[in-house]
Amino acid sequence: MATVFISYNAEADEAAARRLAADLRAADLDVWMASESIRAGESFPAAIDRGLEGSEFVIVLLSPSALASDWVRAEVYAALDRAHQGLTTLIPARLQPVALPPLLSGFQWVDFSQYEQGLTVLGTLLRVQIRPVSDVPTVEPGRSRLDVSPPDAFTARALGALEAGAMGAGYAILRTNPATGGSLDAVIEVALLRIGVMVQRRPAAVGELLGRVERELGVNPHRVAAILAIAPGDETTLQEYQLREAATPNAVVMTWAPTTGMDAVPAAVPLVVGLMTGGVPADITGSHQPFGDGAHAQHME
């Protein structure tokens, strides 16, 4: 009996993982998943190592939350090492329309946006026939946890624009809890990155915005790699800065004119990701359509 290790984000994707595990077991496969397989008193890293060592297949359930999870990232790195040694077969499985991380782009992946079709493809890779026997619902694509009412109209529009673009750009939005500290309004999880979002309620000088970003990065209770600061303005522009020691920019200031650049806020997310990963889109240096009529993005050399 083959053993299948399921790597997933427990907070966001537990239901989807349990549904898949039930269907795999019905196909006479042994399943290892952390919530069911860790022994009493066993350390988490030791349990993961044990699970990976005994698994012929590793399925990584990909969602925005999974891509931002430190544990999923650690499991992927360990599985990659075993896959390169020929000890296991690594199968990325997309629960939501997220971009495959570069390290996983060379592996055949399975699309679970249509669950039964995904099971059929997965069965071919696992060399078994899998039939859906469970009725646990999967997580809906584009889901966000933006469930706290913003305090003012400009913040509501900015965060609403981010939420509207979540499905198309493949990211998740998490509204921050003021009790955890910091001055972020939300956190975006995308492409193995956590990007903070800070909304300035009134027009402000760039220096003032950068001061707030600098303080946030110094404490960083939300463990973000960069911060997108959004402030109202007469035109929509984007400018990146490197405030703390890093290989890539870690602060991006956007002035936003909603009347001329309604799509600019969600369009900024892939640009920020490009800056953070070193793959800056070519059109960041000049005018481009996603930022609306008359709007532009600026790139500091």
**What average pLDDT does this structure show over 69-84?**
89
Q: Which amino acid is located at 118 in the chain?
A: G
Q: Which range, of 19-23, 49-53, 71-75, 190-194, averages the lowest pLDDT?
A: 190-194
Residues 270-292: tens digit of each pLDDT: 888 888 777 655 343 333 333 33
Alpha-carbon gap, residue 55 to 41, rounded angstroms: 22
| Domains of the chain, each with CATH number or no CATH | 3-126 (3.40.50.10140), 153-291 (3.40.1350)
Residues 47-75: tens digit of each pLDDT: 788 889 989 999 999 988 888 888 888 88
Which CA distances in Å does 191 have to 73, 226, 229, 271, 277? 11, 13, 19, 12, 9
Greatest CA separation found in the chain? 64
Alpha-carbon gap, residue 76 to 54, rounded angstroms: 15
